[in-house]
Amino acid sequence: MTDTPDTPATAPAPETPSAPETPAPAEARITVSKNGPYRIEGNFTIVDPEGNAYGLGGRTVISLCRCGLSANKPFCDGTHRHHGFMDDPAARDLPPKAS
């Protein structure tokens, strides 16, 4: 005696070509430097108020001005060193988001 399935046999579904997997973007990391800029590393885009992306020339590490004195804003040009910018950041929790 031969066992037969309770449902009729069906042909396997035709294979559909799958799109190549896009790797998940690497996480960006922002470091607040002591007496210096914000350092951004990883996969990121910086845009102006209209949404236009800055050309970063393939860089995956940049520094953004924190002192407000850079001649190349929003990027750091090292001016903070000559103008006494002082800030010793320490990580802390923000208050809960207002509802």
DSSP the chain: -----SS---PPPPPPPPPPPPPPPPPPEEEE-TTS-EEEESS---B-TTSPBPP-TT-SEEEE-SSS--TTTTB--SGGGGTT--------PPPPPP-
CB atoms within 10 A of CB 34: 10
Question: Which of 35, 33, 54, 36 is closest to 44 using CA atoms?
Answer: 54
- Structural domains in the chain, sorted by start: 26-87 (3.40.5.90)
Cβ–Cβ under 8 Å, residues 85 and 35 = yes
10-57 pLDDT, tens digit each? 555 555 555 555 555 568 999 999 999 999 999 999 999 999 999 999
pLDDT at 13: 53
pTM above 0.85? no
> Where does the pLDDT of residue 93 fall: very low under 50, low under 70, confident under 90, or very high at 90 and above?
very high
Q: Residues of the chain with pLDDT > 90: what percent?
A: 72
